[in-house]
Amino acid sequence: MEFLTEYGLFLAKVTTVVVAIAMIVSIVVGASQKNKQSGEKGYLEITPLNQQFDDMSEAMLIATMDESLQKAEEKKLHKAKKKQAKLDRKLGKKLSKDLDKNQSKNSAADSSGDVTTKSRVFVLNFNGNISASATSHLREEITAVLTQATAHDEVLVKLESPGGMVHSYGLASSQLDRIRKAQIPLTVCVDKVAASGGYMMACVADKILAAPFAILGSIGVVAQMPNFNKVLKKHDVDYEILTAGKYKRTLTMFGENTTKGRKKFIEELEDVHQLFKAHVSSRRPKVDIDSIATGETWYGSQALEMALVDDVQTSDEYLVSRIKEADVYEVAYVHKKKLHERLGIAAEESADRLLLKWWARLTQDSNKHI
């Protein structure tokens, strides 16, 4: 009993530290928001990946040649680039004329049909945390891409997330659903993990690709919280919580939890689980939802057998294959932050890492948690 008391007090101290850090972060971020100019917004960074790939290939080619042949090869490549640039300009002018005549973007660029437009692949990156904060940038990137993308193109999302809050990942999934509704092919690549909320996002795609040892699944819902009520009673500390509404609060960290409140809380978890299952079933009709909606996770090759993914390969492998046949652009919405903003975000991330670290220690009996 003494151990439990000390353990509870220790958790209370950790919670106090985290709350204090959060308050400091809120003050810093709040101050930065007040100091921002009203017109200050983020901007798009668009990187053509084909050129990067070509430059890398050329660098390797020249480096592995005999030194006596390197200069000649460089001149040859330079001449080829100039010729290609001239062709691209000519093609661009022709396409502009076609567009002015209201011709389809997917039609031939000339009347003979000898030259056709290449499809485009727009690459987005989503690295998710507990609150899916990357959604704010994802929504801007998708809005930008939808102004240009057509059914002839493709959107590729490189997704990494162990999941987090239900409503946050629900919104992130809805952002990806905008691409599907626009009838633009959507591919999601998972190199490391897309579990729980991460898989909620991934299953929206027309095609899911996963690395052999990527972790996918965890189609379940979990909620945990410590309760310090006995510790407070032992030290003669009263805790009151006032509510209007029968189930405004079902479980609490400091109050005395009831069987009725606990039962209602479990019902709410089950409701969310049913919604999660319906979401996956509607987008991955081939899966046996009762078999996979157990909260378990699977590695990429296993996930393929369970129909959770469509193929096993890394995002790099897929991108290289697409670069050979399409124009590939990486799109990122960037918000240039001032010093005090960066400090605030750094403090927030430190607090987040601290929580995750202790969460991992407290749940070290299993590595399959969201």
Radius of gyration of the chain (CA): 26
Among 135-144, 150-159, 229-238, which stretch is predicted with the lowest mean pLDDT?
229-238
User: Which amino acid makes up residue 174?
Assistant: S
Q: What are the tokens at 254?
A: 């400091």
**pLDDT value at 77 more than 60:** yes
pLDDT above 80 (res 243): yes
| Token pair of 165 as six digits | 């809050």
Give the pLDDT confidence of 25-37 residue by residue, as tens digits.
666 555 555 544 4
Catalytic residue ranges: 196, 248
Domains of the chain: 1-41+338-370 (no CATH), 42-95+116-218+296-334 (3.90.226.10)
pLDDT recorded at residue 163: 94
Write the CB contacts of 262 (distance below 8 Å, at least 6 apart in sequence): 250, 251
Give me the helix-helix angle, 166-181 and 135-146, nearest 10°: 10
pLDDT at 109: 42
Confidence of residue 276 (pLDDT cuts 50, 70, 90): very high
pLDDT, residue 337, reads 62
Average pLDDT in the 113-123 region?
74
pLDDT at 8: 64
Interval 327-341: pLDDT, tens: 999 999 997 766 555
Higher pLDDT, residue 40 or 329: 329
